[in-house]
Amino acid sequence: MVMISIAAGALAKKLFGKQRSDVADGVQGDHPVVRAIFRAINVGDDDALRELLHPELRVYVNDYPVTDPVRDHGPMLMLEAFNDLRASLPDIRWELYDELAGEDEGDEKLAIRFSSKSTIDRQEVDFSVAGFGVLKDDKLIEWRQVADIETFEAHRAAAHRPPVAPPR
């Protein structure tokens, strides 16, 4: 009985709680969109991601729409945010833990869990994020993240981006 518990615990950690450090160059994931997201953040190459973003892409964090004064949606919001993060937090690194892809109600959907690690004000910050995507015509048309909003906003502030959540 003890051996079964140990084996079940090891299997659970392998499937659900282990960081996927399967690629040394930071390009993690199996799905092309996931790989492109991690390449854009971890390597700074957003060419593949640019090709996989739908012109009507909408981005949300904790159900708050991510917008800027010029546009309320579109691929440039995500690309500019990623580039600003890399410029202001040069040590930022996303590390993939889990990835699921499949069809739901006729749409192709993605779900990932990852950690975002960086240094803000000389303090190492590591927070967990869940990301959910919807694809249309093989392009990402909706991206939703669930994360600690204060830590997320600290990342945005460091990247000189406006907050997404209304003031409390």
Residue-level pLDDT at 11? 37
Does the pTM of the predicted model rise above 0.85?
no
Average pLDDT over residues 86-113: 91
Return the structure tokens found at 109. Answer: 């959907």
pLDDT over 70 (residue 15): no
Ordered structural domains, the chain, with CATH:
23-158 (3.10.450.50)
DSSP string computed for 12-79: HIIIII------TTS---SSHHHHHHHHHHHT---HHHHHTEEEEEEEEETTEE---SS-SSSHHHHH
pLDDT over 50 (residue 123): yes
Task: Render pLDDT for 40-68 as a digit per residue (tens, 0 to 9).
Answer: 989 889 998 999 999 999 999 999 988 77
